[in-house]
Amino acid sequence: MPLAAIGQIRSTSSPTSNLIQCLHLVTLAFRASASALFLPEASDYIAPNATTSLSICQPLATSPFVQGLRTAARTHSLPICVGVHTPSPTNPNKVCNTLLWINASGAIAAQYDKLHLFDVDIAGGPVLKESASVERGTQLEDPLATPLGKVGLLICFDLRFPEPSLALRRRGAQILTYPSAFTVPTGRAHWETLLRARAIETQSYVIAAAQCGYHDEGKTRRSYGHSMIVDPWGKVVAELGGVDEEIEEGSGLNEGEIALAEIDLEVVERVRREVPLMRRTDVYADVV
């Protein structure tokens, strides 16, 4: 049975350092005989502000980070799913939050731009407005055939919306991805609950590689971690550590590590067969 590997990193504003982290995880996944490696959202960099992000962001064709991972995928014959930034095609003052599927030949086989942007103002928590510097995506991409099965690409805040996951399931997805950089308050409150909900309602595997720890020396931004894989019955079958109240910063984060889980498409088919979801589209609209 094919193995999925999830990798957990702590991106900074240095794409070079972040590439080194990711290449280490590629090596670990290869040694574990994984069929694909899933890396977090914004693996190339997490910048302290929009101006820095614009100065760092590069087109896919010239990005040393992307080209480095393409070479690694080709060298190890290992597909890599990775979140990066790309220049907005319509607004020179914004970037796109993009998810790539790099196949075993090192080619970019699929590209998805995040539909839902993270604009929040939580009392006593983070105040973030992703839409100020990121251009929204405009479409869902059809599920991609991979060594693991048919994969539907989604990113982080997309997790809060059931409609895109249901639409991808309708289009044939057997696996959904949610590479993320969840904040600590929202992670503690909703991360596992939402991942399991998306798996249960779509009867699909959910693979969610996450950022973890502080991203800057000033400790102004921190991610929750807890990368995980959930099976179609809603069971967590792989998980890495993360930021918890009882864990001191720097311990238990599993930064620079991977977790593995078998992807059994027979389980997908069995769950869908035994608990058929007969939608009442005569009463409410279907999601397409």
Residues recognised as catalytic = 41, 114, 156
Residue 38 lies in a domain: yes
Residue 228 lies in a domain: yes
Residue 288 lies in a domain: no
pTM: 0.95
Could you give the number of structural domains in the chain? 1
Residue 257 lies in a domain: yes
- Tens digit of each residue's pLDDT (9 = 90 or more) over 132-174: 999 999 999 999 999 999 999 999 999 999 999 999 999 999 9
64-76 and 15-31 helices, crossing angle to 10°: 10
Residue 280 lies in a domain: no
- pLDDT recorded at residue 251: 55
Q: The domain spanning residue 223 has which CATH number?
A: 3.60.110.10
Q: In this structure, are residues 46 and 133 in contact, taking their beta carbons and an 8 Å threshold? A: no
- pLDDT recorded at residue 244: 78
| Helix/strand/coil percentages in the chain, nearest 5 | 30, 25, 45
Residue 112 lies in a domain: yes
Measured between alpha carbons, how far apart are the two ends of the chain, in Å?
31
Distances in Å between the Cα of 288 and the Cα atoms of 87, 116, 141, 171, 217 are 29, 17, 12, 8, 44
282 three-state secondary structure: coil
Count of other CB atoms within 10 angstroms of residue 117: 20
List the chain residues with pLDDT less than 50: 246
Q: In this structure, are residues 81 and 151 in contact, taking their beta carbons and an 8 Å threshold? A: yes
Residue 65 lies in a domain: yes
Share of the chain above pLDDT 70, in %: 97
Q: In this structure, are residues 116 and 161 in contact, taking their beta carbons and an 8 Å threshold? A: yes
- pLDDT recorded at residue 252: 66
Residue 156, domain extent? 3-274
184-202 and 162-170 helices, crossing angle to 10°: 30
- pLDDT recorded at residue 257: 94
Residue 101 lies in a domain: yes
Tokens of 117: 């942007």
